[in-house]
Structure 1
Amino acid sequence: MAWYPKVVGLDTDWTIWQNYLGMEYWGKGPGAASTSQDNIERVDRWTLRDKTNKNMWIKQYNDIANIVYDILKNGAKLAIVSRNRNKEMCDRALTFFNANNPNDGNKEYSIIHLVTYDEIIDQSKVEHWRRIHGWSGEDYSEFLMFDDEAAHNSVRIEVGVTFQQARDKKGLYWDLYIEGLNAWRRAKTVIMHNTPTAPKNRKLIGYSGLPGFWIDLIGKGEGIVEPKTPYRWGYAFYIADYIELAKYFCGWNGTWINDDGSKVCEVWVRDYEAWQSINKVWVPENGGGLIQMNNIHWSYEETGQNQEDRDRIIAGFGVPTPYVLFSRHHWMNGMPVPQPQRWSEMVVYTQVQRALFDVVPLTDAQVKANTNPRPYPFHHQIKEWNITVPSVTWQEFKSRGETDYY
């Protein structure tokens, strides 16, 4: 039997139904009821409209009833996870939309009566999932969320919930549901390696310069999201293969944030054999259709969409999520490498980070006494670590006269 999440969360507007159900627009016509939800009427099995303004309507997407049935049939709990500002209106709409209940002789129920976690509140969806985590007692790796807005992939970045975007206002349809389940299963395979109390074959593979609160987040298995700091390959844990670069970035952090004292940290994988099996890709610094993220100047939605688009392009290289990304990085002023030489960086996203990685902060004395400054030069690990290198990356290496890769 295939694995299933313990909780599947669905957004409302543009995910369960087409259009926006909003108190800003509904119930504004003549004779409108004072309670916004009482202005909703049913047109047919799929469509609801505003009693006072027939131009205001929502329509349930065709596959939703079958998807709800499948979620329940496979033992998962259904959550509604929405930032819609009127919970009462959404709940009323969900009383009109129906699905069969596999746990009660396939009888037809209003969808609202099949919901275990009714999280409709205008808050960060990370907070929605924190509450579901608390109520259910399940790890974040057991959760899957479908949502039309890319900005809400913050649930994957911050706490490791698998996120699947219902993009282009097409809503949630069956093939996309299966795509989300497969993404969750791949992530679940990674998280099964999470053995922080009993690491095996543990290895030091690099260094990072991290502020104290980032070190704390990584220790809790949470991801780094800092809109004031540039993250060109998305919000993630960035690792260098050379301790002097980690020292450089300790100072660099203070140019972007109120740094509480960055530390050079050793970066360890808990299980080297498991690490070798993780999907990895080496992307070109420029080209290949990849656009580097400009989170400092972009909106949350633009930032989120950039991350979703990157995943799709990299999937086209034959590397599905979750993956670890490698890239060369251009020289910057003051870097401890010869100008204009590029250096290698590793980018680890949250689901892999929380499954396999630990950091060990070093004192200044320990950094000074370090005798293993470059344990694994990343550009020499392509075969050893099974890193996929697409042709566009090899072409960039060649154009830069970089030949020392294997």
Structure 2
Amino acid sequence: MVKKPTLIAFDLDFTLWPFAVDMSAYVAPPFSKNMNGQVVDTRSRKIKHFKEVPSILKRLHHEGYILAIASRTGDPEAARQLLKLFNWEKYFTYIEIYRGSKITHFKRFKSESGIDFSEMLLFDDEHRNKRDLDTIGVMMIMVIGGVTHKLVTEGLDKFSNSYEQK
């Protein structure tokens, strides 16, 4: 029997999109949609997400996973705005966006959902978050260059294999 996580969480910056939402060198919130329906910042620059993200979120949601956002950005409002403009809010049951340790994000997930840390999986681009989450038993998969279908499949396999070894 293949063991699957109950909750899959994603970081935002450099994981679902290729920039830090709170750094003006990358983007200039607030965001909106232009006449062509493209998401743009106040400088009218197109704001793009990593290519495979919409189909990944749709797939995981369709497969019945509970999805969550765990982001430590300094501009939670801008991050939430992008989630809405990209039409991704519908996929996420839990959204925790604020500065601070990812441990706090996951403690809230656990408190609100009743799901144990050992049933959670995070995709994130920062090593420090892996070190933190290892202390509470949440598995993290390192993301380099954005989340992809291949990485998600590898992460799910790693999660399953970790149970087989216990």
- For 2:70 and 2:95, locate their aligned partners in 1 and report how far apart those are by CA, in whole Å: 7
Superposed, 1:139-158 pairs within 5 Å as 139-158=116-135
- Secondary structure in 2 matching 1:67: helix
RMSD (CA atoms): 2.2
Structure 1 residue aligned with 2:70, among 58, 78, 81? 81
- For 2:109 and 2:79, locate their aligned partners in 1 and report how far apart those are by CA, in whole Å: 19
Which structure has the higher relative contact order (CA within 8 Å, separation 6+)?
2
How far off its partner does 1:58 sit? 3.3
How far off its partner does 1:131 sit? 1.1
Superposed, 1:60-75 pairs within 5 Å as 60-75=49-64
- For 2:94 and 2:119, locate their aligned partners in 1 and report how far apart those are by CA, in whole Å: 15
Task: Specify the alignment match of 1:4 in structure 2.
Answer: 4
What is the CA deviation profile of residues 329-382 of structure 1, one whole-angstrom value per residue up to 9, with x for unaligned ones? Answer: xxxxxxxxxxxxxxxxxxxxxxxxxxxxxxxxxxxxxxxxxxxxxxxxxxxxxx
Alpha-carbon contact 2:117-2:138 (below 8 Å) kept:
yes
Q: Percent identity?
A: 27
- For 1:155 and 1:181, locate their aligned partners in 2 and report how far apart those are by CA, in whole Å: 20
- Secondary structure in 2 matching 1:159: coil
- For 2:163 and 2:49, locate their aligned partners in 1 and report how far apart those are by CA, in whole Å: 30
Task: Specify the alignment match of 1:90 in structure 2.
Answer: 79
- For 1:4 and 1:74, locate their aligned partners in 2 and report how far apart those are by CA, in whole Å: 11
- For 1:65 and 1:134, locate their aligned partners in 2 and report how far apart those are by CA, in whole Å: 28
Task: Specify the alignment match of 1:166 in structure 2.
Answer: 143
2:161 pairs with 1:186: yes
Alpha-carbon contact 1:141-1:187 (below 8 Å) kept:
no
- Secondary structure in 2 matching 1:116: strand
2:39 pairs with 1:48: yes
Alpha-carbon contact 1:19-1:58 (below 8 Å) kept:
no
Gaps of 5+ in 2: none
- For 2:59 and 2:163, locate their aligned partners in 1 and report how far apart those are by CA, in whole Å: 19
Structure 2 residue aligned with 1:118, among 87, 95, 113? 95
Using the size of structure 2 for normalisation, the TM-score is 0.87
2:127 pairs with 1:138: no
- Secondary structure in 2 matching 1:134: helix
How far off its partner does 1:155 sit? 4.1
- Secondary structure in 2 matching 1:58: coil
Structure 2 residue aligned with 1:59, among 48, 63, 70? 48
Q: Which amino acid aligns with 2:104?
A: E
Task: Specify the alignment match of 2:18 in structure 1.
Answer: 18
- For 1:93 and 1:50, locate their aligned partners in 2 and report how far apart those are by CA, in whole Å: 10
How far off its partner does 1:139 sit? 1.4
Alpha-carbon contact 1:94-1:111 (below 8 Å) kept:
yes
- For 1:158 and 1:40, locate their aligned partners in 2 and report how far apart those are by CA, in whole Å: 36
- For 1:74 and 1:155, locate their aligned partners in 2 and report how far apart those are by CA, in whole Å: 28
Structure 2 residue aligned with 1:127, among 92, 99, 104? 104
Superposed, 1:383-398 pairs within 5 Å as none
Superposed, 1:319-358 pairs within 5 Å as none
How far off its partner does 1:41 sit? 2.2
Alpha-carbon contact 2:3-2:159 (below 8 Å) kept:
no
Q: Which amino acid aligns with 1:188?
A: Y
- Secondary structure in 1 matching 2:8: strand
Q: Which amino acid aligns with 2:110?
A: H
The structure number with the bigger radius of gyration is 1
What is the CA deviation profile of residues 232-272 of structure 1, one whole-angstrom value per residue up to 9, with x for unaligned ones? Answer: xxxxxxxxxxxxxxxxxxxxxxxxxxxxxxxxxxxxxxxxx
Q: Which amino acid aligns with 1:62?
A: K
- For 1:62 and 1:24, locate their aligned partners in 2 and report how far apart those are by CA, in whole Å: 22
How far off its partner does 1:3 sit? 3.5
Alpha-carbon contact 2:41-2:47 (below 8 Å) kept:
no
- Secondary structure in 2 matching 1:151: helix
CA separation of 1:189/1:183 partners in 2, compared to 1, >3 Å: closer, same or farther? same
Task: Specify the alignment match of 1:353 in structure 2.
Answer: none
Alpha-carbon contact 1:141-1:188 (below 8 Å) kept:
no
Aligned residues: 164
Gaps of 5+ in 1: 28-35, 98-109, 194-406
